A and B are shown apart, each in its own frame.
Chain A
Amino acid sequence: MSTQNRPLSPHLQVYRLPLTALMSITHRMTGVGLTFGTLLLAWWVTAAAYGQAEYAQVQAFLGSWIGLILLLGFSFALFFHLCNGIRHLFWDFGQYFELHETRRADIFVLIGAAALTAATWVMVL
């Protein structure tokens, strides 16, 4: 009997990730994304210190369609990481580890992130 070709666990191509696992990897991805997002923030602040023309350049870029898409992604990543981060802080205190509680928190985080993103854009636009 051959033991050579047995699938290894977790077998990501076959195994469908549960929502909690997707939330976990999304927390990581948004974290990496936000690190790049802070470059945008640094550019905005530094340009303002250099003067009106430089600041206008940043504003023109952020107002373009590519800038708006970046900002939309930035804002959702920020609110997702914020909401899910608060849940992580509860976990650090040993709270809400039961399966039904993690499922409920998944929904809270997703609704919270979407609502905060929507509210922000309603106020901006």
Chain B
Amino acid sequence: MTSNSPSLRSALGHARGLGSAKEGTNHWWLQRLTAIALVPLTMWLVASVIALSGFGHEAFVVWFGRPINATLMILFLGVAFHHAQLGMQVVIEDYVSQHGSRTALNVLVKFVCYGLATLSIVSILTIAFGA
């Protein structure tokens, strides 16, 4: 493309950065990857919650004191909060058109999701290590 006005920038330089951010495929792929991981993890979580539903604190501590259960729970928490963040981002980007509030909401969702994921995982580790 040629321009009539003189410019030091090349045609390619003008066009760069105007297209997509090229991150859509990674977002799409991570959403699917976390979804696939969540199928068995969710089944396991539901079974765990059913098993723990009639019992108190002690049963919870014993259950997540086992390395396999602590591992699966930490995986569930990490993957589920990541999946939630990715999904909420799509919803926000679809429905919030104003640039500032869209960015602010996406940042808020990221902070809350990864903050709570960390808090929950540390909580499971605290129990797993028998504090």
- Interface assignment of A1: CB less than 8 Å from any CB of chain B: no
Taking a contact as CB atoms under 8 Å apart, the answer to whether A120 and B84 are in contact is no
Contacts of A31 in B (CB 8 A): 84, 87-88, 91
A14 to chain B, nearest CB (A): 22
If A38-B116, A56-B56, A124-B53 touch, does A89 touch B36 (CB 8 Å cutoff)?
A: yes
Contacts of A88 in B (CB 8 A): 35
Contacts of A38 in B (CB 8 A): 80-81, 84, 116
- Interface assignment of A21: CB less than 8 Å from any CB of chain B: no
Count: A-B pairs, CB below 8 Å? 77
Taking a contact as CB atoms under 8 Å apart, the answer to whether A32 and B88 are in contact is yes
The secondary structure that dominates the B interface is helix
B residues contacting A by CB (< 8 A) are: 32, 35-36, 38-39, 42, 46, 50, 53-54, 56-57, 60-61, 64, 73, 77, 80-81, 84, 87-88, 91, 109, 113, 116-117, 119-120, 122-124, 126-127, 131
Supplied contacts A32-B87, A49-B126, A55-B60, 17 more A-B pairs, CB within 8 Å: A31-B84, A34-B84, A35-B113, A42-B117, A42-B120, A45-B123, A48-B123, A49-B131, A78-B46, A82-B42, A85-B39, A89-B32, A89-B35, A89-B36, A120-B46, A120-B50, A124-B53
A residues contacting B by CB (< 8 A) are: 28, 31-32, 34-35, 38-39, 41-42, 45-46, 48-49, 51-52, 55-56, 59, 75, 78, 82, 85-86, 88-89, 92, 120, 123-124
8 nearest interchain CB pairs?
A49-B123, A55-B57, A35-B84, A49-B126, A52-B57, A42-B116, A42-B120, A46-B123
